[in-house]
Every structure is written in C-alpha cells, then in structure tokens.
Structure 1
C-alpha cells in the first residue's frame, strides 16, 4: 500500500465507542486496535512501546512537582544554556579543532563515541517511538527549536555527556602529565559536566528519569567500548589495506538501511545520518592521510603534526579560521549540487525498483526539482546563521518556554492521557473512547488539513505527503529557535491543562472529542515536503566534512605554509 493510500485509509477510519466490559475482538495481525502506533509499528515494537508508556505517564507528576519546586529564572537560563554543551552541534563545531591541533587520538575517540551515541540512541528512539514527558503539566525549557520534536527515550544528551565524561576521567586518572591536584580538579569538572547535563534534561522537562538512566547506561557502554577497542580500530583502519575502511563503510551503510522507520516524522534519522557520514569520512580520511607522508604516528597513526611553540599562536588561529571556512564552503556548494544531480539518478533507480524509500520522504518521481530548504539541518548550521547563534549564546537568558504538544507523538500521547484521566474520573458504563483510537476528521477538519498539505499545481496532494500535520516535516527557522529568539516564548495549549481539570468531568461526546483532537493537531508545525535525495546528500556532505577535517585541511595547511 502506498503512503498516500495508507494515509487516506487512516483518515477514513471512524472512532469507535466500546464497552470496557465487552470482550476484545480478535483481529488479524496489524489490524488490532486501529490506533496510530499499532497501524505503523510491527506488533513486537508496539508491544514494547505499550509496556513502557505507563512509565512515561507515571513519571510526569513527579517531574512536574520537581520543576514547580525548583524553577527560577536563573536556573532556567543556566540549564537552557548548558544543554547546548551536550548537543551534537556543539561537538561538530569544536571537534575538528582537536584534529588540527595535534590531538587526533582524542578527536577520533570523540567522533567514535558521539557517532555511536547519536546513531544508537536515535535507533532506539525510532524503534519505540516513546514521547517526551507530557506537557502540560511540564513546561519545556530549551534554546533548541528541534529537540522537543524528537522522541524522548533514551536521552542522547545523557549518552553524549556520560561517554565523554567517562573517557576523559579515565585518561586523567592514568595521566602523569598533570599535577595530582590539577588532575583531580579537572576530573571534578567532568563529573559536574555530566551531572549538570543529565539533571538539566529533567529540570527542563525534556526527558524523564527512564530516558536519562538508559541514555547514561548507553553512554557508559560506548565509553568502555572505545577505551577497550578504540586503539585497535585506529591501527586496523590505518594498516594500509583499503579493504579495511571499505568493509567498515559497508557495515555502517547496512546499519543505516535497517534503521527503524518511526511512526511519526522525527529528526532522529537525520541526525544519525549526519554522524554516520562523519564516521565514514574520518575512517577513509585517516586511512589515506596515514599513507601521504604528511602525518605522524605518535600517539596514533594519521596524527596531524602540531606543536604550539613551533606553529605559533597567529598561524594556529589562521589554521582554525581557514579550516572552518573550508568546511562551510564544502557544505554550501555540495548541498545544492547534489540536489540537482541526484534526482534524475533516483528516478532511474525508482523506475528499476532499486530505490530504498523511507517514510516521510518524497520519491524523486513525484517532484521535478528540490527547492532551497531552510532549517533542514540540525547538526551544522548554515554559515549565515553563525553570527545569530553566537550572539544568542552570549545572552544565555534567551530561551523558549513552551507548554503544550510540539510533535505528533506529543499530540497522540496528550489525547491518550486525557482519555485515561477521564475514564478514571467517571463511573459511566457507556464506555469511553479507547486511548489508542485514531482521530478521524470530519469534512471541515479535512479542509483545514488540506491547507497544510503540500500539493501539485492541480491541488492534488503529493504522493507520500502526510495527511496529518507532522511537525518534523518542517524545520523552518530551526536554528533561529535553537539559539533563542530573544524573547521568552510561552505556548499554552487548552483545554484542559492539568489533572485538576478532569476532576468530575463527564465523558465527552464524539463531536467534542473530535473538536479537541482537531484543535491539538492544528497547533502543530506546518509541514514541508522532505525529499528522498536528502538522505544520500547528508551522507555525502558529512563524509566530506569529516574528510576535510582529518586529511584535506591538514594537507592544505602544509602546502600554504601553516604546518610544521
């Protein structure tokens, strides 16, 4: 069944009133409970999700109470600002500097852990489709315009922070280069960093306890794996045999292919793609750079030669500025080039049935060209956005406080939570609507939705376009939102906003239920079309960025007189 037929079938379903005492009908696999997630997830994934959803709901009042007791303007600003230190954007901007300043071993270790952390946390997020803690009653405090649109379980911030902290603390404890007191102070700083990032995710209402616990465990596993096998991988890749990086690249591409399809349009896959490309790029770049004669083998093969005393502060600064400029020039030139070159190739592959379609991405046969996209990248922003981001980083009080659903997962969970609360507050035997029941809009709702669905000139929906507004289909101004808008943006969704509003409330009529659902979904972000070529484009662009960082720029520094 095509995406359009599947979406049309979803719209045609009508909510059913059931008697809670009536026996559950036995339906064929895939048709049981005609709800959003049961329709879109394999039975085993849906079963896991149903087991974990009660934990998300159980955590909500405790997180809300903690937020209510602790919140202050100063803490809001602090945790919103420090959350940026756990994002992949932060790491992607500063990691190349490690390579250019001779810390290739640390840079490669960081990339290995962060790439694996983003990929596997995104893998689990898309597999289980668990929402973030419910808002309301929680307020979400963030400087990121896209973080709230991802699924919540597990926390990638926690994964990144814990893996980096464990790796750094281990090496500090085994280093003889620092005085004991200095080493202890730096270790304490990394402990504080990890705890601050993890607790900040709870404080800001972005994650629950389970999200952070599992994210932290994943980060610890990845750090131990890097400490155990990292050196072996570095030497294996640079052993001089091209087959080694080729085999590793093929394994990574297989992992990309089996990345789970989410039930909602979520950016987890996009971020996983970016770091997958980075991983491929640094392995190929490290292999070839070790063969050029420009690199040294201390402390690991493919290390960039650098000492501050010999290069000097001025030339070191010029190296960094030149290197960053090259990365942004590559990104700015390759994305539009690939958007022109790839669609005809994708149409040929699609005609031969060799394409690899993904949900929420439009096939090349259904568009003629890719327009200029805004806010389509959450890892490295366009160069034009950098001054705005740096300006807002200098003013940490700039943040966004939102109350209400921000993603399709939020919306479905909000409706399920409200229905459950109503069921608990009524003794009626007439039977409430099942939490899993899909919203089916009336003609007026369909007209409102149609205004938000991308269409051809004849007004017909594009094949594969989502018929419900899914927020990650649009990331307009995501980087403007990421670093703050300059004002405290408070978004409130009604009705109702708290458990107290359900006390004594009778069950709604079907018309009232549909109106409530329509109101929630209409407040989600207007969608944009996502194109199939964006997948390969992101892989190529980020693999190129990594290659430039580990080989292209170091060779350029030597050629132009900025090297050793």
Structure 2
C-alpha cells in the first residue's frame, strides 16, 4: 500500500522516510503541508500540475452530479465487475494463451500496445502527480484495493482498452472483405461497446475525471496507430537474427525504466511500468530464440507456435494451457524469494562503491538485513495463493468496496490544499482581494452559499440559479471535507454520498474555520493522514526483481512453454 514516501536521507522529503522494518511508522503530520508538491517537485513539473489542478477541481462536482443521476445497485455491480476487464492482470492472464494457440502477431501487438500504454500513462501520472477527483463528493466503487492508490491523470484503463479495441476493430475490418458476415460486424460492435463501457465505468465509479479518460483514450488511439504503422518494422528488426539488435532493444527498455519520473508520493505506477518493461524484454528474447528452433512454423509469422484445435482436440489443448499457466506461476513463486535473498548483498556492494542508483520510496539495501515475505507487491500476476480469493470476487461481483473519503496520500494532500484554497477565497472575498493562487480556475454555475444569510463566509457569487446549479453547488461544498467512511468489505457494506434534495448544508462543516492556529492545522492534517492505510516498506531490489521475474515470465510464455509442450507430447510440430 502506498501513501507516504520512503525517500533517501538526502532527498528533500527526508522526513517521510520509512522506518526500519519491524518498527511502527511515526506520522510526522507537521510536514504534511498543502504545498507538498511545490516543495517536492521540480519547478516546471509543479507549474504544469498547477495548470491542470483547477480542471480536476472543476469537474469533480459535475462528476458527482452524474454519479447521483445514474447510480443504481445494478450499475454499481456491472461497472465494478467489468472494470476487471481493463486491468493489467486480465490481459496478462490471457495474453500467453494467444501465443500458445498460434496467434503470435496479435499477441505481440497486444503486448507492445499494453506496455506502451502502461508506461506512458504511468510516466505522466508520476510526472504530474494529479489526484483523482475528490471523494467526497464522489463515491469510489472498485473491486481493486490498489487502483485508488495511483494518481488519476491519465487513465490507464482507458488507454489499455482503447488501444486493444481499436486494434481489434482494425483487424476485423481488414478481414471483412473475405469474411463479410454478421459475426464480423457483431464483433466490431462488441469492441466498440467494450471500450465505451470501460471508459464510462471509470467516470461512473468515481475513479477518474473527464480529463483523465479523454487523454487516456487519445493515448490509446495513438498507440494503436503507431503499432499499425511501425509494428511490422519492429518485428522484422527483432527477428533479424542479430544478437546486437536484441541487446540494443533491451538496453533501450532499461533506459526507459531508469528515466521514469520520481513522484512526490509513494505511487505504484512505477511498479507496473517496470513489470511490463520486463514483459517486452522477455517476449523479444523468447520470440527471437523460438524462431531459431526447428519447432516454429516456417511459412507463418516468425516464432509462431504450431496449433490446430481440430487435430489436437479440446482436451489436449486445455491440458497444455493449464500446464503453461502452472509453469509460469511456479517460476514466479520460486524466483521472487530467491532474488530477494541473492540481490541484497550485491546491492550493498554496489552502494558501498556508489554504483547504485537509489530511487525515492525504495529502501536502500544497507538499511535492511532481510526481506520479509509479502504478497501485495504485484498488480500484474498475483501469487497463486490469491487466486481463490480473486475467483470468489469475480463469482460475486456485488462484493465490492464503496469508499468515501481520502484513500491515498495524493487524496489527502488535495483535501488539505482544497481546504486551504477555500479559506483563502473566503478571506479574499470578504476583504475584496484576489486569491493567492490566481491561475485560471473554472467555476461551476452555482448559487450563492445557502447559509450566506447566516453570516458564513462566501465562496463568490455565481449565476444560473437553477436546481441543477444548486445540486452542483452542494457537491462543491462537500469537496475537501475529508470525512472518511470505509465500509467493511467482508460485510459488503456500501455507502452513499447522495445528498438530500434541499438547500441546506449537506456536508457538515463545509466551511472550515477562517483562522487556524498551528496546533489546529497539525491536528487537522494528522486526522486525515492517520486514517490512511500505512504503506509497507519498499526495497531497492524490487525493481531488478520485477524485471527479471517478468522477463522470465514472458520468455517462458513465448519460448519455454512451447518447447516444453513438444517435449512432453502436447505439441504439434511433428504434424506440421
């Protein structure tokens, strides 16, 4: 779980360092300033962030209005369930099957597009550190415990699903001339619906804003275009047979991993980027190797695995898929603990020689003696022990978590920053001054605050006195309240943030006091951050471990398992 930084001592946020393993982390609330990002980001990155933050704040009440208008128990279940179809895990489970069933070109294209989407969105997320739309007023509906811990902009789900859907639609249209059937048209309609459903679900579930899904979708479409234009050239380069080409491709990916921006909070976006980088390295190495063997099809796409369902039979095909999955999980289960034992002494030597490349939020090897087992480090392929729980959740889609309130450090910082902004606006409104953060800030068409006649501070006069404007205004007042209601997942509890249809203040103390003593401010910050789940310690060896493990997983998927299938009698090379 990722909320508070574990920066090196030399870093500007040294006060946020993780404690030694075994000791309870101590919250230093005094360092949780509303201008946290101005202090911990380079000036140019913070300037970009300041240009986009007003958009996130502006769209939040409109998203809450949308959620309120259309939300129902049936849609909660549908969008929470289908969100799993846009996750990295879903694609990582089904991608190897494409390779084992002979769809090599589609499998490679999908891997490259997903890797580009995960890396590209993760790069922008960590560079800009933009929060998700505030909760409250939004309720966040999710079956994933890690999704809310990432930054919001742009949406990885949107980039993934649009790239895959557009590629599938393009391939279907290419084959429509030979297969001009209702099936072809039906599949095209399905992929359009699939993409729209996932993108709309991110808005409905309160996980993303309009800006997030629009930019994410545009990135997905551009990634598809690049794959269609340059994909064949990249594959011909990889399959050229030159070891130097493979080395250059691997080196480029490692450089991309290194130049990934360091965020201001402990966000897991980087972990996913590293994992998918390993996947790309692995499928290139594996495909290049398998293409050189006598088992690969010679008159087909390079490194294609021989497969014919009618000749092989359903039972044999299912058996080899199960065997391939088991081999992948065995590799993951054995290599991760082995690397956690082997790598720390090597990293300590590199650290002594000053050859290490420390990264914020990752504990240097000199600061720990051993790594305790943990299973919450992977958003791509979960440990085998988690599969029964995941299948149970998929079998019961209504078992979802509906959360209200800050869930991550980014949420908490934005809550504090929004509170501070409203206080300044209130003071400046009374004094006739101009707000300190005078950047462009779109305002919603709302009414004057309902309690203005009671002498409470005003946030500024708005126009368009309509019922919709009144509702949007009520959601504005809920922003920054930071009131956390976390239901018990085991009891399937749900929470609603739908305010009553009235002109009264529905969010409690929506106008924070204008004057705060330092003690009151620290208590306010402490109250918010103490409600967040404390992050686990993250170790420097995890980056290399993920690269090796996922390189191995991809290599096994495209080369190791196909060779194993032939050796155990589940292959078809001898029949081709």
Secondary structure of the 1:174 match is helix
Write out per-residue CA displacement over residues 93-152 of structure 1, whole angstroms, 9 at most, x where no aligned residue.
111001101111111111000011001100000000000000010000000000000000
Moved more, 272-281 or 223-232: 223-232
Quote the residue 1:405 is aligned against. 406
Matched, 1:368 2:369: yes
Whole-Å separation in 1 of the counterparts to 2:561 and 2:178: 29
Q: CA deviation at 1:490?
A: 4.6
Residues 127, 261 of structure 1: 8 Å contact kept: yes
Whole-Å separation in 2 of the counterparts to 1:505 and 1:541: 52
Residues 143, 400 of structure 1: 8 Å contact kept: yes
Q: CA deviation at 1:488?
A: 3.0
Matched, 1:488 2:493: yes
Quote the residue 1:140 is aligned against. 140
Q: Any stretches of 5+ residues in structure 2 without a counterpart?
A: 1-6, 17-26, 439-487, 498-504
Residues 115, 276 of structure 1: 8 Å contact kept: yes
Q: CA deviation at 1:300?
A: 1.3
Whole-Å separation in 1 of the counterparts to 2:73 and 2:34: 44
Q: CA deviation at 1:40?
A: 1.4
Flag the 1:325–1:13 CA change in 2: closer, same or farther, 3 A: closer
Matched, 1:533 2:541: yes
Quote the residue 1:327 is aligned against. 328
Write out per-residue CA displacement over residues 403-431 of structure 1, whole angstroms, 9 at most, x where no aligned residue.
01111110000111122223333455599
Quote the residue 1:262 is aligned against. 263
Whole-Å separation in 1 of the counterparts to 2:199 and 2:110: 19
Secondary structure of the 1:502 match is coil
Over aligned residue pairs, what C-alpha RMSD do you find?
A: 2.6
Quote the residue 1:272 is aligned against. 273
Flag the 1:185–1:208 CA change in 2: closer, same or farther, 3 A: same
Whole-Å separation in 1 of the counterparts to 2:379 and 2:170: 31
Whole-Å separation in 2 of the counterparts to 1:15 and 1:332: 39
Whole-Å separation in 2 of the counterparts to 1:142 and 1:39: 32
Secondary structure of the 2:58 match is helix
Q: CA deviation at 1:509?
A: 3.7
Whole-Å separation in 2 of the counterparts to 1:491 and 1:510: 34
Whole-Å separation in 2 of the counterparts to 1:360 and 1:433: 34
Q: CA deviation at 1:528?
A: 1.6
Matched, 1:93 2:61: no
Residues 136, 498 of structure 1: 8 Å contact kept: no
Residues 35, 417 of structure 2: 8 Å contact kept: no
Q: CA deviation at 1:512?
A: 2.6
Q: CA deviation at 1:235?
A: 1.8
Residues 432, 507 of structure 1: 8 Å contact kept: no
Q: Any stretches of 5+ residues in structure 1 without a counterpart?
A: 17-32, 437-480
Quote the residue 2:54 is aligned against. 54
Flag the 1:527–1:280 CA change in 2: closer, same or farther, 3 A: same
Write out per-residue CA displacement over residues 270-327 of structure 1, whole angstroms, 9 at most, x where no aligned residue.
0001100000000010111100111114541001110101211111000100000000
Q: CA deviation at 1:508?
A: 3.5
Q: CA deviation at 1:15?
A: 8.8
Quote the residue 1:511 is aligned against. 519
Secondary structure of the 1:293 match is coil
Whole-Å separation in 2 of the counterparts to 1:171 and 1:252: 28
5 Å-filtered alignment, 1:92-111, equals: 92-111=92-111
Q: CA deviation at 1:368?
A: 1.0
Moved more, 169-178 or 424-433: 424-433
Flag the 1:134–1:549 CA change in 2: closer, same or farther, 3 A: same
Residues 419, 512 of structure 2: 8 Å contact kept: no
Moved more, 550-559 or 387-396: 387-396
1:555 to 550, 563, 569: 563
Write out per-residue CA displacement over residues 154-180 of structure 1, whole angstroms, 9 at most, x where no aligned residue.
000000010001100001011045343
Residues 425, 505 of structure 1: 8 Å contact kept: no
Whole-Å separation in 2 of the counterparts to 1:380 and 1:504: 44
1:521 to 523, 526, 529: 529
Residues 234, 300 of structure 1: 8 Å contact kept: no
5 Å-filtered alignment, 1:118-129, equals: 118-129=118-129
Residues 131, 152 of structure 1: 8 Å contact kept: yes
Flag the 1:435–1:511 CA change in 2: closer, same or farther, 3 A: farther
Quote the residue 1:159 is aligned against. 159
Residues 273, 538 of structure 1: 8 Å contact kept: yes
Whole-Å separation in 1 of the counterparts to 2:422 and 2:506: 10
Whole-Å separation in 2 of the counterparts to 1:527 and 1:540: 24
Residues 393, 399 of structure 2: 8 Å contact kept: yes
Residues 130, 151 of structure 2: 8 Å contact kept: yes
Flag the 1:14–1:395 CA change in 2: closer, same or farther, 3 A: closer
Flag the 1:13–1:376 CA change in 2: closer, same or farther, 3 A: closer
Residues 102, 303 of structure 1: 8 Å contact kept: yes
Write out per-residue CA displacement over residues 16-74 of structure 1, whole angstroms, 9 at most, x where no aligned residue.
9xxxxxxxxxxxxxxxx993112211111010000000000010010000001111000
Residues 375, 383 of structure 2: 8 Å contact kept: no
Structure 1 residue ranges (4+ consecutive) displaced by more than 6 angstroms after TM superposition: 10-16, 430-436, 497-500
TM-score by length of 1: 0.84
Secondary structure of the 1:265 match is coil
Secondary structure of the 1:269 match is helix
Q: CA deviation at 1:432?
A: 12
